[in-house]
Structures are given as structure tokens and as C-alpha cells.
Amino acid sequence: MEVALKDILLTKGKEWLGIDIDPSWIQFQPTRKGVRGDVTLMVFPFAKALQLPPAQVAELIGKHVKSEVSFVADFEVIQGFLNFVFSDTLWSDQLVAINQNDSFGLAEPDSKQMVMVEYASPNTNKPLHLGHLRNIFLGYAVAQLKKAHGHQVIKTQVINDRGIHICKSMLAWHRFAPLQANGERETPANSGLKGDKLVGKYYVEFEKHLQLEVKEVLARWNGGDFSNTSASALEKFQELNQALVGKDEKAQAAISDKIKELAKNETEILRAAKDMLVRWEGRDPETYLLWSTMNGWVYEGFDVTYQRMGVDFDKLYYESDTFLLGKDQVMDGLARGVFYQKPDGSVWIDLTPDGLDEKLVLRSDGTAVYMTQDIGTAIERFHDYPALSGIVYTVGNEQDYHFKVLFLILDKLGYSWAKNCFHLSYGMVDLPSGKMKSREGTVVDADDLMEEVVNAATVMTQERGQIAELTEGERHNLFESIGMGGLKYYLLKVDPKKRMLFNPEESIDLTGNTGPFIQYTHARINSLLRKAGSIQIDESALVIDFGEIELIKLLAAFPQTIAEAADNYSPALLANYLYELTKAYNSFYQQSPILNETNEGLRFARILISKNVAKVLKTGLNILGINAPERM
């Protein structure tokens, strides 16, 4: 409609107004709620060019458009806004078209470029927590949005299965897991503990011992005992100790942290973990076996968590497979002068000309860092999928700098696709008590949280749900759908870029702006449609009024909403649209009889609207990864 209006303004504008029309003047927007009209034209740019009052220009354009465009039934001028009122038949035709389109809102599959969406990058030393939930639900929904928008999508995760963190868990397990009677140490099989939880337990164990040793080292240093301390650490310690003098409290705290960091590196246990990493990179068989065994436990644990979350992946990348390629690339880049080497053997890139810092890409002992493996992983992906146009990295915003650097390095290495890599940066999830900190034990575990929301949904549904006709299995699925739907919606309705607060009590709410509220409306419409049975609807006899038009307008905005949400990587836009549609429908439902309406044409229109609201809600919820139960 807007396109048609734009065309006529461009072709006839000069004749009506006497001046050439610049296309940029033509700005449409949906007419404000509560004001008569369907589409609004801004007349300010025209008024400015014509040197006439906006109202006068609007009147002029409105008159001409009304007489020349068949679907414009009327127009109204309010201040500088020209509101066009479309004919009722246009809206009933829209409704019929929406109704006949089973994949309404969805673009032609695979009609757009192939993109890869990475949305989980767990470390294999700890279980998943609330932050991962936001990450994974967000990435999954973006992947679904891209698909709905016509892209071919590869869902992937990169598993940080190598590195010092996993060596810490390995070392702690090897040292501290008690030997059982049969000679085994604790395993998921013999203890019944979920694999990722077990490995996480030993990571915590490592950190505990590390802290103890750090205290010992510090006590020794402060007592003047520097045996077992490297010369460079001693030098730095003395330097930092000097720096403490005369500083304010804040600066002193920062320096103390640095000293602590220094002491960490001088502990036996951390040295042992580092040795283990070197042995691992040297493929020491015993270390390798321990590593693959413990990672295996973690994967089994993650699988259980992912399954409950309702997410899956098309392709997995393990950093243990890609870090060598990353190292090769670094050596190659070094030869080509992209990187440079320091006397100690470490390799760096100087990004100061680009306004960034110098960045390490390979340690002096030759082992890979995060950046090294990310370079390798990216290249591997484009190698695996030649048709791939770009990668979306769903990673928290504390890594904004890392990705800026990564994309710049890839560009400097000569990969043209580097500019199509996008860091989907999301904000941290805070708790009412503040930031989640593993050290303070305020981390919200993903499995525990999911269990909790499903339990809450179970209680509420048993209390108010219409579930008498459901079997035991169906009930179980329903509770799961409602609990998980609430949790997903809660995390997805907020703009991804923004830091958000997670309130445990609100997350299990079923009323207000929540997932179950939308699910409920969908279920209620389904109940209505079941009662409607096989009423034959005569699509040529629809009667519509103001309330119906409002809803048809909202329905018609669905494809546009998907496009915008996909282009902006923002499931929140879709979530907010679904909420708005739900609100509008509930209000309509409350004041308008549907099956009981006596005017047949009106009844037909209302049933059709109900049916298509349900259709859009279901499609939309599914894109967000949320189930839409038929009854609840």
C-alpha cells in the first residue's frame, strides 16, 4: 500500500504541487493508535520545500490522493500529519490473504545467503549457568529468525575443550578425588553425579587449593623468604611493593591484586596445571586419556541440559581441533609480517595504528591463547562451508574488544569474509543481589533454574489449568512447555544489548508480560476454534468494524516484524510484537462476542481473525523456541 502511495506521489506530485518531489521526503509510518487513519505521511519536508504551512500542504496532497487512489477512502489532517484512511474491503481482503497463507510471515526458505550462528561456547570445566541460558536462548532464536527470514542457517557451538581451565579440573581430580574400594576414583557412573557437575566440582577444588597456596606464597614473600621464587617475579614483586607507598586506598587495592596475580604464578599447583597443558599439547598419552575421559563426562552432562532447553546444533567445533590451524596461521602471518616476535619468543600483533593495543597471539612457550584458536576456528568454518557468507558470534559484551581485534586480525590476514563476521554482543544478567560471581557462590545453575521454573508451572497449572482430558505424558509436556516458555520469554523480551536483571520471583510469574500469558491466549483461541467446529466461512461475506481492523493491521505487520527482528538480531522485537498482539486480542475477545455474534458476516470475520491470531502467535513463539500448547 505504501509502495503504491509512494509511486503515485512520485509520478503525480509535480503536477499537484508544482515542484519536483525528492523521494527522501516521502516518509510513511503507521498511524498513531487512537487516531483515525491507517497510514500517515509526514508533510514537513514538503512544507519546507514549498514554503507553505504543513496543514495546507497536507490538505492539498490528501485531496488529490483520495480522488486518484481507489483504496484510500478518506484522509484527515492533524497538525503536520496526513492520515490516510483505507477502505474496509482492503482490510477484509488482507485478512483473507493472511488466512490462505499457511506460512504467513515466513520468507521463502533458503532464498538468502548462508549464515552460521554460534550460540554456545561453553568451557568444559564448569556446568552451564544463567548467563549461558541467555546466550543460548538468544542465539537459538536469532538462528530461527534468520531462517524464517529466508537464510540458510548453520547452528554451531564452539567447545573450549582445551586450555588451562580444563587442566585445572584434571589436575584436581587426579590429586583430590578419593580412591574408592574398587580402585576407581569418583566418576559420573559410580557417583550418580551429572558429568559437568562432577568436573565443575573439581575445578572449584582446584581454585580452593590455589587460593591456599597463594596465601602461603604471600606470607613467605612478606616474611622476606623468596626461595622457590623466579627471578622475574621477585623483581616485579619488589617493584610493586615500592609502588604501594603513598597511594590512595583504591590504587593500593589494584596493586595488591597484581601482587596476588604474581603469587598465583609462583604456586606449585598452578605450575603443575601449566605443565599439564604443555604435556597435553605435546600429546602425552596419559594426559590425553584423562582429558578425553573428563571432557566426555562434561558432554554427557551438557547434552542433558541442551535437551531440556530444546536447542540443538548442526555442527560442533572443538578448539582442540582448530588451535593447531590457528598456530599455523600465526606462523604464516609472522612470515608475512602481519605479526612480530618478541625476544622471548611470544608472537604479537601491533594494532596501535588502528587505535587499539598490542595483542598477544602466541605464548612464549609456544602454546595457543584464546585468540589463536579463534583465528583457526573461523578459517576452518569457511573452509567447511564454501557457501558461507558470514558468522554471527553470540558472546557476552565483556568480549567486545576481543572480537574487534579478532575481526581486524582476520582482515589483516587477508580474509575478505572478515567484514561479514558479526559479534552479537549481549549484556550480562544481574541478580537482585548484584553480579553473579562463582567465587561467592551466587551463580545460578542452569539445571537447577529450569527445574525450578517447571516446578512452579506445574503447581500453577494443576491449580488453574484445563487439563482434565490430558494423559500423564501430555501433562508432563505441558508443564515443561509452560515453565520453559516462561523462562525463555523472560530472557528474550529484553533488548539483547542491554544488561538485564534476573528476578527469580518474576521469572516464574504467569501473568502480565510473560510467555505463559501469550501461551494462554493461544490455548484459549484453540478452545474457541474447537467449539466452532466445522463452521463453513464464506470469505466473500466478511463484515468488519473498527476493532477488527485494528487486529488485522497488527496481523499484517507480522512479516515486517520478522524481517526487522532478523536484520537487527533482536528476538526482543518479535517478543514485544507477540505481546502487543496478545494484549490487543484479549481486549477484543473481552468485549466482542465471537461464536455468539448474531451478525453472520461479523461472526465469520471474528472467527477468521481468531484463527489467524493463533497462527501468528504459534509461528512467532516457535521462532523464539517456545512451545504453543493447544490447551492449558
Partner RNA sequence: GGCUCCGUAGUUCAAUGGAUAGAACGAGCGUUUCCUAAACGCUAAAUAUGGGUUCGAUUCCCGUCGGAGCUACCA
C-alpha cell read off for 58: 497536507
Sole residue written with cell 605479526: 339
Q: Which is nearer to RNA, 31 or 92 (CB)?
A: 31
Q: What are phi and psi of 513, to 5 degrees?
A: -80, 80
- Work out the burial of residue 528: count CB atoms within 10 Å of its CB; fewer than 13 is exposed, 13-18 middle, 19 or more buried: middle
C-alpha cell read off for 27: 516518509
369 counts as binding RNA under rule CB under 7 A: yes
User: CB neighbours of 112 closer than 8 A, spacing ≥ 6?
Assistant: 149, 150, 151, 152
**Shortest Å, Cβ 334 to RNA:** 15
Residue pair 274/168 in contact (Cβ under 8 Å)? The answer is no
255 counts as binding RNA under rule CB under 7 A: no
Q: Which is nearer to RNA, 107 or 159 (CB)?
A: 159
**Shortest Å, Cβ 465 to RNA:** 4
Q: Which of 152, 267, 377, 576 binds RNA (CB under 7 A)?
A: 576
Q: Output the CA angle 47-52-53, nearest 5 degrees.
A: 80
The one-letter amino acid at 500: M
Q: Which of 71, 104, 370, 422 binds RNA (CB under 7 A)?
A: 370
Sign, CA torsion 313/319/323/326: positive
- Binding to RNA (CB under 7 A) within 26-55 occurs at 27, 29, 31-32, 34-35, 37, 40, 42, 44-45, 48
Q: Which is nearer to RNA, 185 or 583 (CB)?
A: 583
**Shortest Å, Cβ 582 to RNA:** 7
- Binding to RNA (CB under 7 A) within 482-511 occurs at 482, 493-495, 497-501, 503, 506, 509-511
**Shortest Å, Cβ 577 to RNA:** 9
* Stretch near RNA under the rule CB under 7 A, chosen from 62-70, 223-231, 291-299, 572-580: 572-580
For the chain, the residue count is 632
Alpha helices, DSSP H only, in 465-570? Answer: 472-492, 504-507, 515-532, 546-556, 558-567
Cα(324)–Cα(326) distance, rounded to whole angstroms? 5
Residue pair 308/450 in contact (Cβ under 8 Å)? The answer is yes
C-alpha cell read off for 432: 537482585
Q: Within 13 Å and on the Cβ side, how many CA atoms surround 291?
A: 24
Q: Which of 570, 612, 619, 627 binds RNA (CB under 7 A)?
A: 570
267 counts as binding RNA under rule CB under 7 A: no
- Binding to RNA (CB under 7 A) within 547-566 occurs at 564
- Binding to RNA (CB under 7 A) within 102-141 occurs at 123
**Shortest Å, Cβ 609 to RNA:** 12
Cα(364)–Cα(112) distance, rounded to whole angstroms? 44
92 counts as binding RNA under rule CB under 7 A: no
* Stretch near RNA under the rule CB under 7 A, chosen from 72-80, 191-199, 209-217, 286-294: 72-80
**Shortest Å, Cβ 108 to RNA:** 24
**Shortest Å, Cβ 182 to RNA:** 34
Cα(92)–Cα(241) distance, rounded to whole angstroms? 79
517 counts as binding RNA under rule CB under 7 A: yes
Burial 548-578 (b: 16+ CB within 10 A, else e): bbbbbbbbbbbbebbbbbbeebbbbbbbbbb
Q: Which is nearer to RNA, 44 or 71 (CB)?
A: 44
Q: Which is nearer to RNA, 391 or 406 (CB)?
A: 406
* Stretch near RNA under the rule CB under 7 A, chosen from 183-191, 291-299, 460-468, 544-552: 460-468
Distance of CA 114 to the CA centre of its chain: 19
Q: Which is nearer to RNA, 325 or 388 (CB)?
A: 325
- Binding to RNA (CB under 7 A) within 175-194 occurs at none
- Work out the burial of residue 435: count CB atoms within 10 Å of its CB; fewer than 13 is exposed, 13-18 middle, 19 or more buried: exposed
Cα(91)–Cα(248) distance, rounded to whole angstroms? 70
**Shortest Å, Cβ 382 to RNA:** 21
Residue pair 146/118 in contact (Cβ under 8 Å)? The answer is no
* Stretch near RNA under the rule CB under 7 A, chosen from 13-21, 57-65, 86-94, 513-521: 513-521
156 counts as binding RNA under rule CB under 7 A: no
- Binding to RNA (CB under 7 A) within 316-335 occurs at 319
402 counts as binding RNA under rule CB under 7 A: yes
Cα(526)–Cα(579) distance, rounded to whole angstroms? 18
589 counts as binding RNA under rule CB under 7 A: yes
The residue count for binding RNA (CB under 7 A) is: 96
Q: Which of 322, 526, 561, 619 binds RNA (CB under 7 A)?
A: 526
* Stretch near RNA under the rule CB under 7 A, chosen from 109-117, 289-297, 301-309, 395-403: 395-403
H/E stretch holding 359 reads: strand 358-362
524 counts as binding RNA under rule CB under 7 A: yes
Q: What are phi and psi of 399, to 5 degrees?
A: -110, 20
428 counts as binding RNA under rule CB under 7 A: yes
Cα(69)–Cα(92) distance, rounded to whole angstroms? 18
**Shortest Å, Cβ 209 to RNA:** 16
Q: Which is nearer to RNA, 109 or 593 (CB)?
A: 593
Q: Within 13 Å and on the Cβ side, how many CA atoms surround 218?
A: 16
541 counts as binding RNA under rule CB under 7 A: no
Cα(292)–Cα(382) distance, rounded to whole angstroms? 27
Q: Which is nearer to RNA, 135 or 152 (CB)?
A: 135
Q: Within 13 Å and on the Cβ side, how many CA atoms surround 120?
A: 32
Q: Which of 20, 102, 344, 538 binds RNA (CB under 7 A)?
A: 344
460 counts as binding RNA under rule CB under 7 A: yes
Cα(508)–Cα(514) distance, rounded to whole angstroms? 9
Q: Which is nearer to RNA, 185 or 236 (CB)?
A: 236
**Shortest Å, Cβ 587 to RNA:** 4
573 counts as binding RNA under rule CB under 7 A: yes
